[in-house]
């Protein structure tokens, strides 16, 4: 064979190798795209559930086909295993498609599974390239699979709807944080060795899991966010109410915007006003106090008055100052309530360990061996400064106008 022929043959061979660059590709019609997963612990095994999107049904979601049946955009099924990845691997026994987790928006964990410990789940997400550590985490009381089976009206794919609801809550009310997998891992390995995760539940009676149940203007049950789950290490230890959760958010400087109901006058039990806190910042300053510490919690915020039934003249600076005093008292009470709840559980969900570790590293080395005992002795000194920047479009309440002669 001549040299030119050999060179041409070599080029042809190289071209053949280049043409096989996608030899390991997976076609779209071979994938089962998951929008949400659920983790349960049943009979000593991990049970993993998958909310799988049906692409052909997305554009025709809830459309009526011949024969009166409606095609749903998702299907939910579960597999079990001694480990989480074994359960995932067993999906090949009942699914003709390969599970694709890169589009998963949320993972819902049952409280039973959370009490077993979340280290196996975190290991899965950080070890495997097909799992994203930006997935939002929620905890459900009881069976987590049922959350995935519940349909939503506004969002076609429930997994997307859950994540959007959580994101909106964390931005507009701020009681429940949007905790991602990496947030959870960082909290567990931080000096406080604790974490918080929002709860998701089904409110109502009958579950909405069929197209017929979804066709009504008012659903018999809905997915909604609930309390705050508290983790000690990687294991769930208990719950906090939404009011306590909001206090924790203030202490941890996690408030973006929130609405605070309050009374416009001192010693008046009736709540007659509402304030939108548009900007907030919190500074934690640990102060040595003998063998222990006192934690200064300084909160500064500003916003606008949203509503009031107060008959006083809002043009008066003294009235505005009194409203600010009332708001400051409300926030102080939230902080005190949250701290008492954390103290009762003896879990550092407020992040005091991180503050002490940063300012007093030598003292922290001594304290960290028995941090729960040291945590219980800490006293707090909350101080709040709120500024009402705007009273709204009017400086009088409607009640004032109606009571004028």
pLDDT digits (tens, 9 = 90+) for 112-127: 999 999 999 999 999 9
Question: Residue 71's pLDDT band (boundaries 50, 70, 90)?
Answer: confident
Give mean pLDDT, residues 50-76. Answer: 69
Closest to 211 (Cα-Cα) out of 158, 161, 151: 151
**Own/partner long-range contacts of 365-369 (Cβ < 8 Å, ≥24 apart):** 368/191
Pairing assessment for the beta strands 221-232 and 235-240 based on DSSP bridges:
antiparallel
Give mean pLDDT, residues 248-266. Answer: 95
Residues constituting the chain: 405
Instruction: Could you list the beta-strand ranges (E) of 256-327.
Output: 258-262, 273-289, 292-308
Give CA–CA dist 132/107, Å, rounded. 11
DSSP state for residue 118 in the 8-state scheme? S
Q: What angle do CA 59, 61, 63 make, to 5 degrees?
A: 105
Give the pLDDT score at 62.
47
User: What are the phi and psi torsion angles at 313 (to 5°)?
Assistant: -80, 110
Tokens of 347: 């879990």
186, 268 in Cβ contact below 8 A?
A: no
Question: Residue 400's pLDDT band (boundaries 50, 70, 90)?
Answer: low
Question: Residue 60's pLDDT band (boundaries 50, 70, 90)?
Answer: low
Closest to 341 (Cα-Cα) out of 238, 253, 261: 238
310, 322 in Cβ contact below 8 A?
A: no
pLDDT digits (tens, 9 = 90+) for 335-380: 999 999 999 999 999 999 999 999 999 999 989 999 999 999 999 9
Q: Is the pLDDT of residue 69 over 80?
A: no
Tokens 């349960």 belong to residue? 40
Question: Residue 23's pLDDT band (boundaries 50, 70, 90)?
Answer: very low
Closest to 384 (Cα-Cα) out of 283, 265, 278: 283
Q: Please list the residues that pair with 203 across neighbouring strands.
A: 222
Q: How many CB atoms lie within 10 A of CB 274?
A: 13
Residues in CB range of 208: below 8 A, 6 or more apart: 150, 151, 214, 219, 220, 221, 222
Give CA–CA dist 357/368, Å, rounded. 9
Sign of CA dihedral 238, 124, 131, 350: positive
Terminal CA-CA length for the chain = 114
Give the pLDDT score at 7.
38
Q: Is the pLDDT of residue 201 over 90?
A: yes
Give mean pLDDT, residues 244-268. Answer: 94
Give the pLDDT score at 68.
39
For the chain, the maximum distance between any two Cα atoms, rounded to a whole number of angstroms, is 114
Give the pLDDT score at 14.
47
Give the pLDDT score at 29.
67
pLDDT digits (tens, 9 = 90+) for 155-193: 889 999 999 999 999 999 999 999 999 999 999 999 999
Give the pLDDT score at 173.
93
Give mean pLDDT, residues 312-328. Answer: 91
pLDDT digits (tens, 9 = 90+) for 84-109: 999 999 998 988 888 999 899 999 99
pTM score above 0.85: yes
Q: Is the pLDDT of residue 316 over 50?
A: yes
Q: Is the pLDDT of residue 321 over 50?
A: yes
Q: Which overall architecture, per CATH, does domain 253-405 show?
A: 2-Layer Sandwich (3.30)
146, 207 in Cβ contact below 8 A?
A: yes
Question: Residue 67's pLDDT band (boundaries 50, 70, 90)?
Answer: very low
Residue predicted with more confidence, 124 or 62: 124
Q: Which of 22-26, 45-49, 287-291 is least confident?
A: 22-26
Pairing assessment for the beta strands 106-110 and 98-100 based on DSSP bridges:
unpaired
Q: How distant, in Å, are the alpha carbons of 221, 231, 282, 294, 381 from that of 288?
A: 51, 28, 20, 6, 13
Give the pLDDT score at 2.
55
388, 324 in Cβ contact below 8 A?
A: yes
Closest to 208 (Cα-Cα) out of 264, 162, 119, 146: 146
Question: Residue 10's pLDDT band (boundaries 50, 70, 90)?
Answer: very low
pLDDT digits (tens, 9 = 90+) for 185-200: 999 999 999 999 999 9
What is the rounded average pLDDT for all residues in the chain? Answer: 88
């Amino acid at each position: 064979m001549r040299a030119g022929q050999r060179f041409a043959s070599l080029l042809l061979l190289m071209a053949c190798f280049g043409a096989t660059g996608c030899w390991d590709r997976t076609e779209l019609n071979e994938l089962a795209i998951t929008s949400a997963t659920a983790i349960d612990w049943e009979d000593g095994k991990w049970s993993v559930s998958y909310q799988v999107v049906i692409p052909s049904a997305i554009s025709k979601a809830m459309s009526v086909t011949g024969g009166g049946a409606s095609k749903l955009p998702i299907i939910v099924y579960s597999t079990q295993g001694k480990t989480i990845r074994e359960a995932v691997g067993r999906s090949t026994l009942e699914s003709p498609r390969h599970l694709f987790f890169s589009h998963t928006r949320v993972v819902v964990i049952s409280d039973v599974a959370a009490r077993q410990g979340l280290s196996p789940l975190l290991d899965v997400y950080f070890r495997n390239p097909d799992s994203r550590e930006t997935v939002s985490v929620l905890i459900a009381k009881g069976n987590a699979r049922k959350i995935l089976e519940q349909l939503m009206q506004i969002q076609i794919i429930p997994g997307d709807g859950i994540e959007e609801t959580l994101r909106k809550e964390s931005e507009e009310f701020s009681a429940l944080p949007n905790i991602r997998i990496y947030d959870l891992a960082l909290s567990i390995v931080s000096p406080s060795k604790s974490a918080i995760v929002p709860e998701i539940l089904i409110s109502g009676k009958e579950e909405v899991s069929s197209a017929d149940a979804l066709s009504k203007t008012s659903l018999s049950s809905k997915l909604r966010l609930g309390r705050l789950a508290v983790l000690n290490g990687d294991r769930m230890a208990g719950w906090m109410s939404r009011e306590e959760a909001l206090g924790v958010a203030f202490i941890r400087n996690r408030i973006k915007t929130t609405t605070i109901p309050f009374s416009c006058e001192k010693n008046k039990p009736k709540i007659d006003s509402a304030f939108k806190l548009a900007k907030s910042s919190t500074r934690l300053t640990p102060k040595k106090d003998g063998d222990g510490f006192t934690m200064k919690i300084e909160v500064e915020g500003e916003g606008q008055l949203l509503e009031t039934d107060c008959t006083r003249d809002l043009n008066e600076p003294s009235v505005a100052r009194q409203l600010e005093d009332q708001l400051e008292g409300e926030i102080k009470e939230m902080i005190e309530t949250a701290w008492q709840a954390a103290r009762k559980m003896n879990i550092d969900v407020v992040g005091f360990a991180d503050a002490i570790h940063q300012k007093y590293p030598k003292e922290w080395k001594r304290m960290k061996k028995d941090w729960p005992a040291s945590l219980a002795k800490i006293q707090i000194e909350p101080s709040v400064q709120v500024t009402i920047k705007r009273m709204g479009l009017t400086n009088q309440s409607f009640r004032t106008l109606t009571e004028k002669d």
